[in-house]
A and B are shown apart, each in its own frame.
Chain A
Amino acid sequence: MDPYVLKTLNEERRARRAAVLVTDLGDGRDRIVREGDHVAGDLGAAIANAFRTGNSQSVEAEGRTFFLNAHLPRPRLVVIGAVHISQALAPMARIAGYPVEIIDPRTAFATPERFPDVALHAEWPQDVLKRAPLDSYTALAAVTHDPKIDDFALKAALDARCFYVGALGSRKTHAKRVERLLALGAGADQIARIHAPIGLDIGAASPAEIAVAVLAQTIHAFRSRGLEAKGAVA
């Protein structure tokens, strides 16, 4: 392995950016491909697949054998709001492989008794996100219904290109939210990425059912990353 390649790969991994290490098993030459880099042909298709699935594998392309080692940051889910939905969402998301962090400045809501074994911040989102910024391997669900708490986090999630951004509230509520986000300087195309009303349409009624819908939508967004440009995702 090329020392510079190793150094670069570790830099990417530390910064929570996805990278695929491509090694030609015939001559040992290797290189780093970052998400979004263009690689032509069969090799490019295999690399795109490695980014989407996170699976590493050997592939035959151009008469050679390559090993693709996919290094994807661990996805996580940041939930704004220590509410009833979040109580159901946190354990389910963790089981599905998406560690959860919950942020809510309302100390009556954000208590360890209500959220055992969850990373919980009884602080304003602007303070927490300054310390631990959002990134493209983070999903954000805003479920407080309170613009004072949700709006900043939503804008930050759009700017950080979070792979999923969802916001609780009816279409009417969301229409008002769109106005506020525009006023905060968000672009219309950015705002269009927000899933609102939140969650896959499974007819969810109870808080726990809404949590299932949010988790399913998060997983769908994660597994279809990079397909938006090809129009494969609605």
Chain B
Amino acid sequence: MNESIYLDEARDPLIIAEGWMKDGKDVAIATVVETWGSAPRPVGSHLVIDADGNFHGSVSGGCVEGAVVTEAMDVIGSGKARMLEFGVADETAWQVGLSCGGRIKVYVERLG
């Protein structure tokens, strides 16, 4: 358990996103805005992504980050925010899912 009362600057996604922005990088911010059932990360959790596909933080503890990063590339390109929804993986082969059986909604937006 992290017991520091101060921000962990080296690992905090929003601090990292601000740093990337100052470095002139294009950045997308993904946020868990709703969860149903057992979701691995709480509402409000962030994954931040730069235009090269580097990312920090998590929205699902590893289950759907790959898909979110791919979507974030499009969002960085278009500037249009997207709402993504992930549930339990179904038969559709290309779809990713949460092994825990929950569902999450992730809002992906470009910074700036």
Chain A residues close to B by CB (< 8 Å): 1-3, 6-7, 9-10, 13-14, 16, 23, 25, 28, 55-58, 67, 69-70, 73-74, 76, 94, 99
Contacts and interface: CB of A to CB of B under 8 A. Distances in A.
Interface string B8-39: 00000011011001000000010101100000
A76 B6 CA distance: 11
B71 interface: no
A23 B15 CA distance: 18
Interface of B: 3-7, 14-15, 17-18, 21, 29, 31, 33-34, 42-44, 81, 83, 107, 109-112
Contact of A3 (B21, B34, B42, B44): B21
Contact of B17 (A6, A13, A69): A6
Contacts, number: 57
B5 A16 contact: yes
B21 A67 contact: no
Nearest 5 A/B pairs, CB to CB: A56-B44, A3-B112, A28-B81, A67-B33, A99-B3
B14 A67 contact: no
Contacts of B109: 1, 23, 28
B41 to A, nearest CB: 11
A131 to B, nearest CB: 13
Contacts of A1: 29, 109-112
Contacts of A25: 33, 83, 107
A28 B42 CA distance: 21
